[in-house]
């Protein structure tokens, strides 16, 4: 509720923002540099909050953004909806003051695999492939993708057969390119 009030105030003050300077601070938990939450959403929002002294806070992603909001260390943050839902169910009291204000975009899961590798389909992640557990990079703990993978496993327990590794992004793609599976 605290977050919703701040965002409503920002919208109400935005037209007059360039005409006056205030000492109001707005801390925005954004995610990692070079990624969409920081470079696109955070930067663009900060440019439009002229009435505020905006600080973009670098984080590990959705989970940390929600934690910072709940702890009062940020007024605004970006998170994937499934991570928000998971946190609210796990600890409703801690996240009671964190309120969704709107959807920014649809997010989807991309699964890349080697053409010559053992994993050929999403179904292959449900069990042993060529006698071993398939590996999938799900990003660092607390990241949006890590939480999305946990949500996928809760919806289809067969995915728990895969070995989830806490790497992601270009590191995971590079590992795949040089021979990982």
Instruction: Quick: pLDDT tens for 126-174.
Output: 988 889 898 888 888 877 788 888 888 999 999 999 998 888 777 887 8
Task: Name which of 91, 161, 81, 152 is nearest 127 in CA terms.
Answer: 161
DSSP state at residue 61: S
pLDDT tens digit string along 1-46?
A: 233 333 322 232 333 344 444 468 899 999 989 988 999 999 999 9
| 48-75 residue pLDDT tens | 999 999 999 999 888 999 999 999 999 9
Predicted pLDDT of residue 29 = 95
> Which residues, 6+ apart, have CB-to-CB distance to 85 below 8 Å?
none
> Which is more confidently placed, 81 or 17?
81
The CA distance from 11 to 36, in Å, is 22
Rounded Cα gap, residues 83 and 9, in angstroms: 26
pLDDT at 23: 61
Partners of 76 in the β-ladder? 28
């Amino acid at each position: 509720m605290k977050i919703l009030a701040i965002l409503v105030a920002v919208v109400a003050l935005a037209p007059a923002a360039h005409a006056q300077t205030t000492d109001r601070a707005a801390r925005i938990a954004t995610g990692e540099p070079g990624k969409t939450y920081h470079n696109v959403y955070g930067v663009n929002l900060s440019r439009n909050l002229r009435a505020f002294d905006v600080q973009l806070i670098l984080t590990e992603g959705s989970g940390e953004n929600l934690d910072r909001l709940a702890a009062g260390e940020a007024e605004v943050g970006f998170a994937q909806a499934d991570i928000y839902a998971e946190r609210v169910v796990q600890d409703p009291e801690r996240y009671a003051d964190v309120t969704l204000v709107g959807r920014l975009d649809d997010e989807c899961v991309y699964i890349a695999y080697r053409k010559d590798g053992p994993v050929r389909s999403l179904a292959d992640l449900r069990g042993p492939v060529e006698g071993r557990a398939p590996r999938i990079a799900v990003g660092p703990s607390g990241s949006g993708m890590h939480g999305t993978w946990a949500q996928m496993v809760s919806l289809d327990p067969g995915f728990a057969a895969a070995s989830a590794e806490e790497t992601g992004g270009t590191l995971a793609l590079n590992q795949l390119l040089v021979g990982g599976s």
